[in-house]
Structure 1
Amino acid sequence: MTRLDKRTAAASAALLAVLAAGATGATAGKDGSYSGPLRCEIRDTIQGDAILLEPIVYADKGTSGTYTVSVSGGGTSGSADIRQGGAFEAGPGNPAALSRISVGANGAAYDVELIVTAGGTSISCVKQVPGAT
């Protein structure tokens, strides 16, 4: 491969990466949530000795799709390996609360991943949730 061929290949790969990123229409926030026409969020609330996890999807226009949420981790009171999924519908002013998952909070830490697919677009939100000590 010549030097020019290598540069062309590198430029093509960079362009492909930009196009792929633009196809999702979403940009990641610090908390693992996304902004764009299809967005997701993982809410966590400590309630006594449990953590309530709520994956949510937002959409700028009426859309339907599928989701998968997985939770792994744990602490002194045990471990969790949870996987749930299904269909959803969301639209402007009508976010979809996908599920509610309760896990132990005492000394625990969990990795939560939400993958959302709708209209040929897939996004994911990832969040690490620390428990109460």
Structure 2
Amino acid sequence: MTRHRQLMSGMAVAAIGLTAAGAAVSTGSAHSGVEPVRCEIQASTRAGMTSLTGMVKADAVHTGIYRFDVKSSGRSGSSNISQSGEFEAGPGEDAEVGNVMLSSPGAIFDARLELEVRGKTIVCDKRFGAI
């Protein structure tokens, strides 16, 4: 089984500094044949809430399963959130595979999105939060 992983280095991004118009993104990809499948973790902040969203993009129609995990830690404690399920993505039809809304000023969020597509694993890791 061919396995391709791309891990983005943990980079601290001030959650307060993210704007609704801008987003921080982490990506990973794997090629099944000639049609790549990519994952992204997008972050945005609006009205004091940080939103982390898992996305799947594909150049051809693909189905698979996902697991989206978000861990947070800050002054008010810590939390672990996991979401999983099936998805279908294709040209012009990106799949949103998880969404977490968080309100923890000064917290650090570690997000991980894992995709299983045609026996291949695609992983995106990203750290968001206070500096």
Aligned length: 111
| Superposition deviation, residue 107 in structure 1 | 0.5
The structure with the largest helix share of the pair is 1
TM-score (normalizing by structure 1) = 0.73
**Inter-CA distance 95–126: structure 2 relative to 1 (3 Å threshold):** same
Indicate whether 1:33 and 2:27 are aligned. yes
Give me the identity figure in percent.
32
Cα pair 2:2 2:120 within 8 Å, conserved: no
The structure with the largest alpha-carbon Rg is 1
Q: 1:122 corresponds to which residue?
A: 121
Query: Which ranges of 4 or more aligned residues in structure 1 deviate by more than 4 Å?
Result: 26-31
The C-alpha deviation readout for 1:50-96, integer Å capped at 9, x for no partner, is: 21010000111101110001111221233211111000000011110
Note if contact 1:80-1:103 (Cα within 8 Å) is conserved in structure 2.
no
Q: Larger % of strand: which?
A: 2
Q: With the length of structure 2 as denominator, give the TM-score of the two structures.
A: 0.74
Q: Which has the higher contact order (CA 8 A, sep 6+)?
A: 2
